[in-house]
Amino acid sequence: MEFEGKVVLITGGAQGIGAATARLFAKKGASVAVADLDGKRLEKLEEDIKESGGNFKSIEVDCGKSEDIEKMISETSKTFGGIDILVCGAIFRPTKPLMEVKEEDLDHAWSVNIKGYYLSVQKIVPEFRKRHGGKIVLISSTFGFVGAPNFSVYCACKGAIVNMARSFSFELAKENINVNAVAPGPIMTEGMEELIKKDPTIESHRTANMPLPRFGKPEEIAESIVFLSSESSEYIHGHNLVVDGGYLAV
């Protein structure tokens, strides 16, 4: 199998795109560790993957805290003997008008969505050096390229990740470490379903003018993440792969 012998660590992967990515990596032979705060969803994901014959470890941590990031890396390495691939997908997404955003919303968002990604990369590099290389895929968003009402915090965070992938590549490419990002468009995840419950108009207006006018599936984003983690992506560095049904073409 394509990823047999490889070890993958996914942050924020208990549901949505992260969970779909964990399932796909496991199906392709990788050993998978998922770090997330949601213990119940982690437990369910672990059951699903192990029942299918996959190697899986769940790690219940806060992906925005330095000590927890060190813990997830350490536990993954001890369990599977090293780490080859890091996928950063943890997210805190306050959806509020600009004038209603509180300082604690910003602090939490910066911690999980920016600092957490930065420290995860920084702290995993020593593990990759032991393997003489590695693959890093950051989950950005089409909202890292465009704005949207009530999503100012989310857009700011995803814009930071877009440039994080570019800047990290300058320092890590020569060490055989690929750093790239995947920018999903509107994807029907559990999080999107919650947003639609709060504002049903999202379901129609988010896709109305797209060339392919539908929500994407988490599995479609997982395929892109797996590609950027594969040997086929050796010459791809600092790239943001947009997977959006043409959302940004509008």
DSSP code per residue over 209-227: TSSS-SPBPHHHHHHHHHH
Give 53's contacts (C-beta < 8 A, 6+ positions apart).
Answer: none
The radius of gyration of the chain's CA atoms, rounded to the nearest angstrom, is 17
> Could you confirm whether 247 is annotated as catalytic?
no
**Pairing state of beta strands 85-88 and 240-243?**
unpaired
Contact assessment for residue 175 and residue 135, using Cβ atoms and an 8 Å cutoff: no
Tokens of 104: 């604690």
Tokens of 169: 């590549």
Instruction: Please pick, among 117, 118, 154, 247, the residue that the annotation labels catalytic.
Output: 154
Alpha helices in 100-236 (DSSP H): 103-109, 116-130, 152-172, 190-198, 202-205, 218-228
Tell me which residues are annotated as active site: 154
